[in-house]
């Protein structure tokens, strides 16, 4: 007898994951995907009614994979799939993976943007693909009707079917569903969709919501609660698509502009904590209403939510008194990730909705920094990455695959325009860009709301319309850097009175000098005090960064990421000229926008990312700058422009820096201003934020 011919099962490759395996002919594509751990959504459990499990066959000879893939290698559409196509519509080339079986070698694309119904898409897909593995899953089941011979409760029979069809064991149930389960089962004529939440593998899965019939929509929100702004994404948990994004002011501003004044408010007002918690939760609820209206989504369909924020926002949102964060040793009430319920936080979303809050890294390095870390992933890099989020406190993370260190540094509000004589928040009419001619010392600038430089035709009209009202954070960096590049200020930051011979814009104010940027109403000048305020802020930031570099034992960083609004507006070149950040190839300095919000989104769409950042935060080494003996010296060195001791060779390749003076024997700053600065330094070093 001849041996039977060797029959090889078809080879199937899933894209974009690249996972592959052999499966017997007749295997449904959905089953093959699941066996390989490829995430393909399905709500109806293979009944060809939800349409969530769409795939596309890539046709052709994929020589590298030794696969000749063809639509013919998939079973033809059966009656169920044809009915779905007829009733709901199926885009060209799309197939339902639950109803298509493998009949030959295949390369199968799992699209990231499967859109069901008339879901309005107003927002582009993410710029990065987040592999999906959400903590909430919709599962349609058909439950046995009650039977007097087997008097199992309605809920208990629902659980039986969720185990049988979907494999959910040991299900818990949200208390609020007990009173609804009977009516929902009967309304759905025993066909219902359950939302199952399971985040940690060690926790028991829970039925958190229930609808009659097939319910084919589930959404989540990812929210970054900043001191100034609250930013939110509304995203479909079934497709991963962002449906709407929006932002709102944090109404806590009325209790204090900066974080520490809010802590003071809590300490000084008996109901301060409640008022502040209530304010931020109301704002979050309003924002939820807004993104839902924009996306055409019911708030009842929001089943999961991820929040991040700095430690004080984190505490106030969770209803925790932040007083301890206002004084050494800056103890967080809770640093680990928080798992709770929307209803516990007063969120007006589905009553069973769950909430996940990312861990905080330290007392001044919050869940927002953790989220930004998740997003940018220094711990996934071979190269040394510096991640900076500048606010009243700068949160600094430095590291690579081997080791990550983090710290915060008390930059104060100067970068946001506070403490600057003509400073203001970014708003129409604010100066946002500045150039100074090094020969004439004449400036040109741009204001928010106009595309024109001040020396261009038509600018006067715009200025007439908008006013020229002040100078915002990004322009403060630029004007001080330009003053330095044009020789108006020395590397010690002293406005050089001798330059008044070159230009009438150099004005004397008592013992110091200032630079007249715009002679209008108001008159906009950069004073010696303004320069000092920027020097103090930037040296706090730089000293923090330098401390982390010393911890890592490196004298340069390979790549820099600026997170947050401030980073999005400043020009990396000027930031480096001023010495906010260490020397680096300018092409490697990138603004990444709201990385914290993006990180929250990742945690929302994939619970694996939650474990990833929890583990990462545990491993991150936290450096408390106030306790480091050489922080003071690094701070003093960083007062000089760009720095008293550190070279900036890469910057010098691209920008002509003024010639360097030799380091002065003492701290290198002029005596007339030293006492005042020293007291500020001490304040910064002691973190006296109260």
Which residue stretches of 620-673 are H helix?
631-638, 649-654
Site residue total, a second copy (CB under 8 A): 53
User: Can residue 149 be called a binding residue for a second copy (CB under 8 A)?
Assistant: yes
For residue 487, the 8-state DSSP code is T
User: Can residue 363 be called a binding residue for a second copy (CB under 8 A)?
Assistant: yes
> Binding residue for a second copy (CB under 8 A) from 146, 251, 256, 670?
146
644: closest CA among 489, 491, 481?
491
Q: Is the dihedral of CA 226, 229, 235, 241 positive or negative?
A: negative
What is d(CA 470, CA 89) in angstroms, rounded to the nearest whole number? Answer: 56
* Window of 175-183, 293-301, 424-432, 506-514 that interacts with a second copy by CB under 8 A: 175-183
Strand order in the sheet with 621-622: 589-593, 559-563, 385-389, 394-399, 404-409, 621-622
> Binding residue for a second copy (CB under 8 A) from 125, 129, 152, 460?
152
Which residue stretches of 222-271 are H helix?
259-268
Q: How far is the CB of 168 from a second copy (least distance, A)?
A: 13
User: Can residue 271 be called a binding residue for a second copy (CB under 8 A)?
Assistant: no
> Binding residue for a second copy (CB under 8 A) from 320, 388, 557, 591?
320
User: Can residue 202 be called a binding residue for a second copy (CB under 8 A)?
Assistant: yes
> Binding residue for a second copy (CB under 8 A) from 123, 339, 556, 680?
339
Q: How far is the CB of 561 from a second copy (least distance, A)?
A: 23
User: Can residue 148 be called a binding residue for a second copy (CB under 8 A)?
Assistant: yes
> Binding residue for a second copy (CB under 8 A) from 203, 269, 630, 654?
203
User: Can residue 335 be called a binding residue for a second copy (CB under 8 A)?
Assistant: yes
187: closest CA among 212, 153, 161, 211?
212
Site string for a second copy, 366-405 (x = CB under 8 A): ----------------------------------------
What is d(CA 175, CA 149) in angstroms, rounded to the nearest whole number? Answer: 27
User: Can residue 362 be called a binding residue for a second copy (CB under 8 A)?
Assistant: yes
371, 360 contact by CB (below 8 A): no
Burial class (CB in 10 A: 0-12, 13-18, 19+), 63: exposed
* Window of 149-157, 503-511, 564-572, 637-645 that interacts with a second copy by CB under 8 A: 149-157
Burial class (CB in 10 A: 0-12, 13-18, 19+), 124: exposed
Nearby residues of 570 by Cβ (< 8 Å), 6 or more positions away: 473, 474, 477, 478, 562, 591
Site string for a second copy, 598-637 (x = CB under 8 A): ------------------------x-x-xx----------
Structure tokens at 662: 């030799």
- Residue given tokens 């104060």 in the structure block: 412
User: Can residue 318 be called a binding residue for a second copy (CB under 8 A)?
Assistant: yes
* Window of 339-347, 413-421, 518-526, 577-585 that interacts with a second copy by CB under 8 A: 339-347
User: Can residue 206 be called a binding residue for a second copy (CB under 8 A)?
Assistant: no
374, 612 contact by CB (below 8 A): yes
Q: How far is the CB of 148 from a second copy (least distance, A)?
A: 4
What is d(CA 132, CA 337) in angstroms, rounded to the nearest whole number? Answer: 20
Q: Report strand pairing: 242-249 vs 229-236.
A: antiparallel
User: Can residue 212 be called a binding residue for a second copy (CB under 8 A)?
Assistant: no
Binding residues vs a second copy (CB under 8 A): 145-156, 159, 170, 172-173, 175, 178-179, 181-183, 200, 202-204, 318-321, 324, 328-336, 338-341, 344, 360-363, 622, 624, 626-627
């Amino acid at each position: 007898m001849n041996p039977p011919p060797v029959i090889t099962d078809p080879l199937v490759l899933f894209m974009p994951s690249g996972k592959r395996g052999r499966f017997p002919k007749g295997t449904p594509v959905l089953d093959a995907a699941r066996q390989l751990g490829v995430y393909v959504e399905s709500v109806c459990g293979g009944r060809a009614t939800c349409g969530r499990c769409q795939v596309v066959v890539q046709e052709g000879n994929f020589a590298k994979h030794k696969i000749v893939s063809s639509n013919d290698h998939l079973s033809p559409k059966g009656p169920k799939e044809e009915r779905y196509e007829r009733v709901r519509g199926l885009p060209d080339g799309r197939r339902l993976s639950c109803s298509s079986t493998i009949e030959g070698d295949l390369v199968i694309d799992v699209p990231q943007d499967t859109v069901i119904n008339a879901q309005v898409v107003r927002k582009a897909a993410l710029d990065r693909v987040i592999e999906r593995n959400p903590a909430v899953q919709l599962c349609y089941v058909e439950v046995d009707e009650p039977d007097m011979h087997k008097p199992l409760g309605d809920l208990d029979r629902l659980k039986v079917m969720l185990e049988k069809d979907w494999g959910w064991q040991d299900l818990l149930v949200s208390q609020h569903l007990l009173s609804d389960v009977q009516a929902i089962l009967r309304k759905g004529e025993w066909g219902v969709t359950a939302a199952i939440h399971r985040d940690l593998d060690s926790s028991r899965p829970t039925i958190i919501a229930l609808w009659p019939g097939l319910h084919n929509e589930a959404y989540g929100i990812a929210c970054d609660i900043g001191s100034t702004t609250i930013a939110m994404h509304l995203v479909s948990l079934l497709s991963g698509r962002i449906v709407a994004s929006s932002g709102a002011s944090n109404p806590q501003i009325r209790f204090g502009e900066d974080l520490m004044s809010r802590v003071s408010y809590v300490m000084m007002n008996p109901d301060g904590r409640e008022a502040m918690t209530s304010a931020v939760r109301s704002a979050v609820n309003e924002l939820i209403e807004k993104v839902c209206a924009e996306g055409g989504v019911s708030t009842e369909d929001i089943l999961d939510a991820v929040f991040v924020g700095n430690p004080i926002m984190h505490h106030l949102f969770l209803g925790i008194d932040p007083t301890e964060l206002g004084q050494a040793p800056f103890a967080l009430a809770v640093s680990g990730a928080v798992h709770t319920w929307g209803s516990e936080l007063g969120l007006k979303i589905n009553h069973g909705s769950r909430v996940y809050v990312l861990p905080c890294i330290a007392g001044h390095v919050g869940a927002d920094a953790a989220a930004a870390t998740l997003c940018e992933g220094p711990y996934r890099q071979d190269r040394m990455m510096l991640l900076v989020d500048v606010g009243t406190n700068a949160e600094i993370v430095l590291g690579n695959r081997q080791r990550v260190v983090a710290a915060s540094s008390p930059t104060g509000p100067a970068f946001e325009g506070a403490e600057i004589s003509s400073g203001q928040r970014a708003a129409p009419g604010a100066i946002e860009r500045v150039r100074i001619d090094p020969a004439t010392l004449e400036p040109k600038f741009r204001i928010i709301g106009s595309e024109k430089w001040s020396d261009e035709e038509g600018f006067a009209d715009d200025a007439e319309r908008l006013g020229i009202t002040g100078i915002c954070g990004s322009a403060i960096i630029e004007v001080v850097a330009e003053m330095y590049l044009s020789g108006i200020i020395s590397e010690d930051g002293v406005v050089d009175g001798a330059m008044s011979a070159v230009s009438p814009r150099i004005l004397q104010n008592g013992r110091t000098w200032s630079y007249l940027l715009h002679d209008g109403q108001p008159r906009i000048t950069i004073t010696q005090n303004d320069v000092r305020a920027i020097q103090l802020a930037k040296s706090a930031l730089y000293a923090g960064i330098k401390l982390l570099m010393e911890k890592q034992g490196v004298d340069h960083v390979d790549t820099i990421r600026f997170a947050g609004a401030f980073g999005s507006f400043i020009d990396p070149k000027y930031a480096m000229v001023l010495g906010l950040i260490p020397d680096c190839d300018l092409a490697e300095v990138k603004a990444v926008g709201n990385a914290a919000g993006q990180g929250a989104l990742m945690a929302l769409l994939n619970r694996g990312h939650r474990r990833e950042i929890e583990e990462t935060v545990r491993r991150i080494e936290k450096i408390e700058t106030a306790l480091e003996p050489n922080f003071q010296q690094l701070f003093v060195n960083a007062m000089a422009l760009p720095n008293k001791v550190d070279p900036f060779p890469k910057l010098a390749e691209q920008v002509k820096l003024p010639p360097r003076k030799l380091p002065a024997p003492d701290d290198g700053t002029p005596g007339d201003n030293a006492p005042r600065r020293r007291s500020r330094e001490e304040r910064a070093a002691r973190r006296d934020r109260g």
